[in-house]
Amino acid sequence: MKNIYLDYNATTPIDPRVLEEMMPYLSEHYGNPSSIHSFGRKGKEALDRAREQVAELISASPKEIMFTSGGSEGANFAIKSTALKGLSENKNHLITTKVEHECVFESFNFLEKQGFEVSHLGVDSDGLMDLDELRDSISDKTILVSCMYANNETGAIFPIDKIAEIVKERGSLFHTDAVQAAGKIDIDLNKIPADLLTISAHKFYGPKSVGALFIRDSFSQRISLAPLIHGGGQERGKRSGTENVPGIVGLGSASNIASHEMQNDQSKISHLRDELLKNLKENIDDVKLNGSLDNMLWNTLNLSILGAEGESLAMNLDIEGVAVSTGSACSEGAVDPSHVLSAMGLTREEAASSVRISLGRFTEKEDVNYAASIFPKIVDRIRRVM
């Protein structure tokens, strides 16, 4: 049976080159980076090199990179710590969007229960916010605005440079969840005035449970954030705990590869993505693309196929050896329709009939051809039953 993976937005396989870089730190180079002997120095050197590689990926300084366990921890730290700091400045207003990943969405829900005022901005049919509404929503009480760089379900890319400029003009702090963007989009933090930015290794061919939080140096000099994890004072006192050296080496290696091969990946994958969409539209009636190709991650498709429930589609495709998603992997199996698609104005039926297809570095033309051939047969079978 075929075994085709088209769910790269949920996670990616580790690139063999990344795994090769990690292996020595899972065996002979096992020293604690905080130790002063040669074993520890070897680990410390690996952390320093990875910090430089991550910084290069997003055009930042190595001293602005804090290693984390992934996007969720990074977002929780950035949002909660900044919000709590705002209380000392008599600010209690926060702004985010209705289409954020759960780690951001739930962080703001938590803060709202603690007494903060939270504005959840809507989006249009392409999944993008109204910049005028953002501008009008920021007040003297607004401490932080958080908006994702690219949406995990639809691939919609936000104009982060413009959003950040608006936020900074109004005197508030800005965080962006760049988990889906890093490794796919050229991120230049010399041009984007974001204060905080989160990434996760497993979204661009690195290991799971490791990521990074960018904290702009000027932000750190002005605001000292209380850590979520206290202990030995690792990561400049912001994130205690013995560092996950093998994972961090993998994050650095994946960042280095992405820095040099991003354009090649885009050229190959976008062509396969567009070819798949063309074939599906030609061979299946009532296929609706959720979002706009003009403003979408080049590896992502979110499709509503009316008359075919999304979960049934995903399950039947899996039986035929093709892995896709019904939305965010973190909410897989949820009864309610996607909050992202609902915010974009889709009906309950349209949202329930959606699937997310996301291609990646190891997707081949044969994979796309097979998926395109089996998809219409499964849709027809489900529609006849329904």
Which CATH number do you get for residue 320?
3.90.1150.10
Handedness of CA 76, 79, 85, 91 (dihedral sign): negative
Same domain, 224 and 131: yes
Same domain, 314 and 362: yes
C-alpha to C-alpha distance for 153 and 332, rounded to whole angstroms = 12
Same domain, 69 and 214: yes
**Nearest Cα residue to 164 out of 152, 176, 156, 179:** 176
Contacts of 14 (CB under 8 A, 6+ apart): 205, 206, 207, 250
Same domain, 70 and 140: yes
Residues annotated as catalytic (active site), given as ranges: 330
281: containing domain = 4-12+262-385
pLDDT by residue, tens only, the chain of 386 residues:
789 999 999 999 999 999 999 999 999 999 999 999 999 999 999 999 999 999 999 999 999 999 999 999 999 999 999 999 888 888 999 999 999 999 999 999 999 999 999 999 999 999 999 999 999 999 999 999 999 999 999 999 999 999 999 999 999 999 999 999 999 999 999 999 999 999 999 999 999 999 999 999 999 888 888 888 999 999 999 999 999 999 999 999 999 999 999 999 999 999 999 999 999 999 999 999 999 999 999 999 999 999 999 999 999 999 999 999 995 445 555 557 899 999 999 999 999 999 999 999 999 999 999 999 999 999 999 999 86
Same domain, 130 and 193: yes
End residue of a domain, out of 256, 279, 301? 256
End residue of a domain, out of 240, 256, 272? 256
Same domain, 286 and 179: no
Contacts of 16 (CB under 8 A, 6+ apart): none
For residue 154, the domain's CATH number is 3.40.640.10
Q: How many domains does the chain have?
A: 2
